[in-house]
Every structure is written in C-alpha cells, then in structure tokens.
C-alpha cells in the first residue's frame, strides 16, 4: 500500500530553492571579493620571486618587472610605488608596497587595503 502525504507538496522544493538562491548569492559575493585577494596573492608571489632573484638584479630592473605585473593584473597605479631596500647589515632585500581596492556589490561596499611584502637573503 502506497501512502501519500497530503499538504506537503512544494515544501521541500521551496526549501531547495531558498538554499540554491543562498548558494548563488554567496558564490557571487565570494567570486567578486575573491578576485581582489587573488590579485593581491599574485602580486605578492611576483614580489617574492623578484626578491629571490635580487642578488643578480638591480633595483631598477626589479621595479620595472613588478610594474609590468601590476599593469597585467589591472591593479591601481598606487600599487607601483614599491619600496625596495637592501640591507648590508642583515644581508636581506625587502620589497614593499601598499594599495587599496574597492568592491561595490549590492548591499556591500568596502575598500580593502593591501600591503604586500617580500623578503629574501642577498
């Protein structure tokens, strides 16, 4: 004997749709915010790479390479203000920058401030 429960039709479908809608909204926000952090990560990795190569490169070459990466990533111009310091005392090179990126989404407007930094032995 097959029993049907009356009055329950659509309940699980509605719950599923609400869950699906919530997932889509979270995905939309996550992708847009994640892009900002992904670009930061890529710049920081390039800075680390250039810091590792620093013993054979001068600061001008490092700065030009990093500026190309900033343009490639579509970061704000302020990200190209690199501070490159070589310390003979600690035998380290330090590369730093600071920039901000704004994200404007429905019900969410935020400016993220990033300070990528890389350090390597000379």
Contact 122, 92 (CB under 8 A): yes
Instruction: Name the residue among 47, 93, 86 with its Cα closest to residue 67.
Output: 47
Lowest mean pLDDT among 7-16, 18-27, 34-43: 7-16
* pLDDT above 70 (res 68): yes
Its sign, for the CA torsion 62, 42, 85, 92, is negative
Res 25: pLDDT: 86
Res 7: pLDDT: 53
* pLDDT above 80 (res 11): no
- DSSP 3-state of 55: helix
Q: What is the mean pLDDT of the chain?
A: 89
How is the chain split into domains, by residue range? 35-121
Contact 52, 120 (CB under 8 A): yes
């Amino acid at each position: 004997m097959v029993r049907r429960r009356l009055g329950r039709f659509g309940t699980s479908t509605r719950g599923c749709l609400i869950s699906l809608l919530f997932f889509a909204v979270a995905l939309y926000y996550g992708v847009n915010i994640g892009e900002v952090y992904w670009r930061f990560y890529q710049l920081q990795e390039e800075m680390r790479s250039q810091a590792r190569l620093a013993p054979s490169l001068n600061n001008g070459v490092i700065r030009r390479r990093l500026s190309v990466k900033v343009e490639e990533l579509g970061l704000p111009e302020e990200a190209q203000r690199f501070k490159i310091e070589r310390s003979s005392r600690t035998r380290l090179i330090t590369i730093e920058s600071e920039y901000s990126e704004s994200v404007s989404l429905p019900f969410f407007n935020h400016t993220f401030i990033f300070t990528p930094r890389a350090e390597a032995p000379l």
